[in-house]
């Protein structure tokens, strides 16, 4: 296999920072910001004026909120078709981040591999940005805390107190789902974790994820059965090639700073890709 590095270890050459600006909820659907307003939820105000901050320190790519509460993306200038990606991540707690695949260059649509390192988050599951917000996850997570309330590890999310419960509808979208106990055995708290993502099948790919060698989830995007998700419309919009993007999430009225803690960061290194 011939993997090529995605970063030069010193700069962000080949990538550009873009703000976290919403678009349509699904191809041909309503604008997300307008939907939020109708639901009484205030969307981010002029997010383009509050981009996330991306830097390279000692060979590590770091993403942080520039203005507290506002997120953004680091978008690859190159587009990719079918590929296998290997990357190491070290997110703070809480930090809601992820890797977008097949992302449009000028709007927010794309498939996302979740790295939601926060209460009720999923790592290795999937979300459809601008693709009817499908949520396909095998499990949800929370932090183990010490006597002082400081997070010291991960555990399975408690459905009774979950901010975003895992439901059978979310799990059934997956053609493969790891057991949460197996995930917890391989995840390295406060350390680097390797994510591997395989994306094959053109405009409607099958996406598979691994964490530290453990297969986590697999999703056939051609067969997703979720409200307002139209495979034909998704294929027409995204095409067989798209960009990669790393995410710094914004905060919202529902999660607040439990989504992205003040001063939190996500760190990425050793990113390599092989086109298939």
**Residue among 244, 207, 22, 29 nearest 132 (CA):** 29
Residue 1 has pLDDT above 70, yes or no: no
Domain ranges of the chain: 4-275
Asked, as a colleague might, if the bond just before 94 is cis with ω within 30 of 0, I would say yes
Region 124-146 average pLDDT = 98
Burial per residue of 59-75, b for 16 or more beta-carbon CB atoms within 10 angstroms, e otherwise: ebbbbbbbeebbbbbbb
What would the mean pLDDT of 196-219 be, rounded to a whole number?
A: 98
Over range 120-136, report the average pLDDT.
97
**pTM of the predicted structure, to 2 decimals:** 0.96
> For tokens 């390279």, what's the residue?
56
Instruction: Return all residues near 91 (Cβ < 8 A) that are at least 6 apart.
Output: 97, 115, 117, 264, 265, 266, 267
pLDDT exceeds cutoff 90 at 35:
no
pLDDT tens digit sequence for 137-180 = 999 999 999 999 999 999 999 999 999 999 999 999 999 999 99
Q: Could you tell me the CATH superfamily of domain 4-275?
A: Exo-inulinase; domain 1 (2.60.120.560)
* Least confident stretch, 27-31, 36-40, 53-57: 36-40
């Amino acid at each position: 296999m011939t993997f090529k590095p995605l970063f030069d270890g010193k700069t962000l050459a080949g990538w550009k920072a873009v703000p976290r600006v919403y678009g349509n909820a699904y191809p041909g659907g309503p604008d997300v910001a307008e939907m939020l307003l109708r639901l009484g939820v205030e969307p981010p105000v002029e997010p383009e004026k509050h981009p996330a901050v991306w830097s390279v320190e000692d060979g590590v790519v770091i993403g942080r909120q520039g203005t507290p509460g506002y997120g953004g993306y680091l978008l690859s200038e190159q587009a990719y078709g079918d590929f296998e990606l290997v990357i190491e991540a070290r997110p703070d707690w809480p930090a809601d981040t992820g890797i977008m695949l097949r992302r449009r260059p000028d709007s927010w649509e794309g498939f996302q591999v979740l790295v939601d390192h926060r209460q009720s988050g999923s790592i290795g599951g999937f979300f459809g940005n601008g693709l009817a917000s499908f949520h396909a996850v095998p499990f949800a997570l929370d932090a183990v805390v010490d006597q002082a309330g400081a997070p010291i590890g991960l555990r399975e999310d408690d459905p009774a107190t979950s901010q975003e419960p895992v439901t059978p509808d979310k799990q059934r979208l997956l053609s493969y789902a790891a057991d949460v106990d197996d995930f917890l055995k391989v995840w390295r708290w406060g350390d680097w974790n390797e994510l591997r993502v395989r994306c094959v099948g053109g405009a409607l790919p099958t996406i598979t994820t691994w964490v530290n060698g453990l297969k986590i989830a697999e999703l056939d995007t051609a067969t997703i059965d979720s409200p307002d998700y139209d495979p034909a419309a998704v294929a027409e919009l995204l095409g067989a090639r798209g960009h990669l993007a790393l995410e710094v999430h914004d905060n919202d009225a529902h999660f607040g700073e439990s989504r992205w803690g003040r001063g939190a960061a996500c760190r990425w290194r050793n990113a390599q890709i092989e086109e298939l």
